Structures are given as C-alpha cells and as structure tokens.
Amino acid sequence: MGIDFGTSGARGMVVDEEASIQAQVRYPFQDSPGAVTPKIWQEALFVLVQQIPDRLRREIKAIAINGTSSTVLLVDAAGSPVDAPLLYNDARGSLVLEHLRSIAPPNHTVLSATSSLAKLLWMRQQSSFIEARYFLHQADWLAFLLHGQLGISDYHNALKLGYDVEELKYPEWLENLQIPIQLPKVLTPGTPITELRPEIADKFGFRRDCLVCAGTTDSIAAFLASGAKLPGEAVTSLGSTLVLKLLSRTRVEDARYGIYSHRLGDLWLTGGASNTGGAVLKQFFTKAELESLSREIDASKASELDYYPLLKVGDRFPINDPNLPPRLSPRPDNPVEFLHGLLESIARIEARGYELLQQMGADNLSRVYTAGGGAANDIWSAIRARHLQVPVVASVYTEAAYGTALLAMGGGIKGEQE
C-alpha cells in the first residue's frame, strides 16, 4: 500500500504482486493547506486505511508513505507535536537564512527560506522548542503512527535537511551545529523499518507481520509512478509550472539554476523547475478552449512566435534571471496562432532545460514521460517531440500514491539497500 499526503488531500493505493491497482481511496482536506493540522493528517491516515476493503487489508504486506517535501514538525518523547508544523511553502526560515549562510557550504540546497534546515533553525528560536525531542518530516511522523518508532526518515525527505546523500551521513558542518534534538536516522526509501504496531494491526485487521517502510516525497513518488526507470529517461510535469526530472548516472548540482539531484538507488534524479507552464495558458484560455484550439494547430510546423510565458517577472531555470520579463508579444488576433506560439515556446524552454541538465553532465535524454494537466494534449506532445527529438509519452501512472506503493513493494528503487 502506498499513501500520499499532498497539499489538497491524502490518497491511498493498494497494488498486487504485478503492480496492478486493487484499491484506491481518498481523503480530501476540506480546509486550505495552512489550516490542516497533524490531527487532521492522523485522521486522514486512519480513514484511508479503513476505506480499504477488509479482505484486501488482510493481505497487505508492506506500507510506505510519501509526504510533502519540507513539511516538518517537532515532537516530544511520546511523538506528540509540540507546536504547529511548518508546511512546505512556509518561508519563516528566511529569518535565519543569513545565519545558515555562515554555516552551510556555498550554494547548498539548504540555503533556501523553505528548506527543512532553515525551518528547524527557526523552530529552535521558539519557546516550544524546549519540549521537543525529535525533528520529523510529515512522512516520518505519519509512518511513526503506524510503526511506533521515533526518529526515522529517508534520504529523499532528508535532502533539504542537509543530509549528505552521497556519503549517506549528516555532514560535519551540520553535526557541529549541535542542535539539542534528535535528527532522524536516515534510511534508503522503501527500506522496511519494522512491523505495524500490534494494536494498529489488530484494530484495523492488518496482518501482524505487515511491514512499514521508509517513505519518500510527493514529487519523487510521482516520478516513480511514471514508468521511467533507465538513465536518460525523464518526466516532465506540465502543471501550473514546468518541472523537469531526468534520471542519470551522474549527479548534477547548480544552486544558481535551482538544479539538484535526489539519490535514487545507484542513480540520480536530476531536475529543475521553471515558472513557465500551464498557469500562463490558464490566464488566456479555458480548459475547453485549450482542447478545441489545440486541435486546429498543425504540430509539424514550428510557430515563429518566440515567447517566454511567465505570470510575473523572473525565472531560475533554464534561465537564471530574477528580472527576466514575461515575453508574450506580438499577440496575433487568431487565438489558434497565439496558442500555437505559447505551446511552442514552452516546448522550447523544456528542451533548453533538458539541454542544460545534459550539459552539466546528466545522461543523454532518451524518452520523456509526461504528467500534469498538459499531458493530455497530444498536439502539444507532438510539438514537444519535435524539439526534444526523443519519444514523448504519457506517464503510465501519475498518482504519487502508486509510486509509493511500488516503493513498498521494493520495486521503486534498485541498487544499494542499507
């Protein structure tokens, strides 16, 4: 079983030995993400579990959970939260960034207002810190509710805490901070931690030997679901923004472009994110217009319109320029031509992004899977394939919960296990 905690709700998926989906359950969050508390996460977790048909629940052999990256909390010795969690996009860490810059190596992934480490340093200054014993990511805490062990994480969630995923240890500069709290022990995602707590197993009718495994983050879980497996295979997410992920034998990092690599067994998941994407299309067209107007585009012909579609000034990847202006003119009167120009231009930015990752040493692009709202647009896929010069296909599955179920199966990450 894979369980996904996203920003708008939680989902669960049960798969069989062949990775076919046997059950899918959902728990939408009624409130805005900011109003969702650990108590609601906990309720969501157990409601999801309860929705699985009894006969299937009895057969589940392993469970893994993915959380939202950099959603973190402090808990006491019993695992109870001592304060509200800091959510993925909470930027209060900006208050400690200068201090963090004096500690962490230049251009390190933790040097962002929303990094887990920036959040931890901010939390250290709050009065509730005195009651805290463990620092956990959302996925760590939810897994704890199932297996009962505190202080365990995985190297995907721990990347933005500063964990060294190459050496598989906390770096010396982080140890030297001497934060008077237990940092999580970090496991390979998908590693079995231990069996379910017996009271949980009995209460919900799970097998006593059902394992709880180390989890991952939401975006890596979505990558695992896509079907991409080999070096050179990539997943483009065409949602509100444009996010690229390319599987590679080499690690690439460049903080200037916001490029970093997650470890994926023996491989590296390199990637970058641009502010261009579907949000700009949405500004000009309804979903129905996007579908009908796209059908009138001749994808084999390149549009001469050269835009840089942005909602506001600035991009980081593949052009690192906080002052980069949106470029959306000239705007032809014909909406088909305008849309063609927008799709063509976003495709150019995507191709440039993959080019940049490859220039930095990532493996040669061989195939691009696609997720997000734009994945359904075949005309756009054809335009993108013309620029990318490799097959562009839809992701096999796009649900993070499915990727996390593969992880629990042991099929998510090949390579070293602790």
**Cβ distance 81 to 75 under 8 Å?**
yes
| Tokens standing for residue 164 | 């060294």
Please select the residue that binds ligand ADP; options are 374, 402, 404, 408, rule is CB under 6 A. 374
CB-based contacts of 174, cutoff 8 Å, min separation 6: 104, 117, 162, 163, 183
Q: Does 281 bind ligand ADP (CB under 6 A)?
A: yes
Q: Does 279 bind ligand ADP (CB under 6 A)?
A: yes
Nearer residue to ligand ADP within complex by CB, 211 or 339: 339
**DSSP reduced 3-state for 73:** strand
Listed ranges 14-22, 278-286, 362-370, 386-394: which one lies at the site for ligand ADP (CB under 6 A):
278-286
Listed ranges 51-59, 188-196, 264-272, 287-295: which one lies at the site for ligand ADP (CB under 6 A):
287-295
| Tokens standing for residue 233 | 């295979």
Nearer residue to ligand ADP within complex by CB, 270 or 377: 377
Distance between CA atoms of 281 and 299, rounded to whole angstroms? 17
Q: Does 287 bind ligand ADP (CB under 6 A)?
A: yes
Q: Does 339 bind ligand ADP (CB under 6 A)?
A: no
Q: Does 361 bind ligand ADP (CB under 6 A)?
A: no
Residue count, binding to ligand ADP (CB under 6 A):
16
Nearer residue to ligand ADP within complex by CB, 289 or 321: 289
Phi, psi (rounded to 5 degrees) for 361 = 120, 0
Please select the residue that binds ligand ADP; options are 61, 282, 352, 386, rule is CB under 6 A. 282
**HSE value, Cβ hemisphere, 13 Å, CA-based, for 66:** 35
Q: Taking CB under 6 A as the rule, which mask of x and - marks residues 294-333 in contact with ligand ADP?
A: x---------------------------------------
**DSSP reduced 3-state for 373:** helix
Distance between CA atoms of 58 and 325, rounded to whole angstroms? 56
Q: Does 377 bind ligand ADP (CB under 6 A)?
A: yes
Q: Does 373 bind ligand ADP (CB under 6 A)?
A: yes
Listed ranges 169-177, 245-253, 322-330, 372-380: which one lies at the site for ligand ADP (CB under 6 A):
372-380
* Look-up of token digits 């840089």: 308
Please select the residue that binds ligand ADP; options are 85, 162, 278, 353, rule is CB under 6 A. 278
**Cβ distance 160 to 117 under 8 Å?**
yes
Give the DSSP letter string of 111-155: -STTSHHHHHHHHHTSGGGGG--EEEEHHHHHHHHHH---SEEET
Please select the residue that binds ligand ADP; options are 24, 42, 51, 240, rule is CB under 6 A. 240
CB-based contacts of 60, cutoff 8 Å, min separation 6: 1, 14, 52, 206, 207, 210
CB-based contacts of 382, cutoff 8 Å, min separation 6: 299, 300, 392
**Rounded least distance, CB 104 to ligand ADP, Å:** 29
Please select the residue that binds ligand ADP; options are 291, 298, 306, 321, rule is CB under 6 A. 291
Nearer residue to ligand ADP within complex by CB, 341 or 374: 374
Q: Is 73 exposed, middle or buried (0-12, 13-18, 19+ CB in 10 A)?
A: buried
Nearer residue to ligand ADP within complex by CB, 229 or 287: 287
Nearer residue to ligand ADP within complex by CB, 2 or 278: 278
Listed ranges 81-89, 154-162, 280-288, 409-417: which one lies at the site for ligand ADP (CB under 6 A):
280-288
Phi, psi (rounded to 5 degrees) for 58 = -65, -20
Nearer residue to ligand ADP within complex by CB, 139 or 347: 347
Residues that bind ligand ADP (CB under 6 A): 239-240, 278-279, 281-282, 287, 290-291, 294, 372-374, 376-377, 380
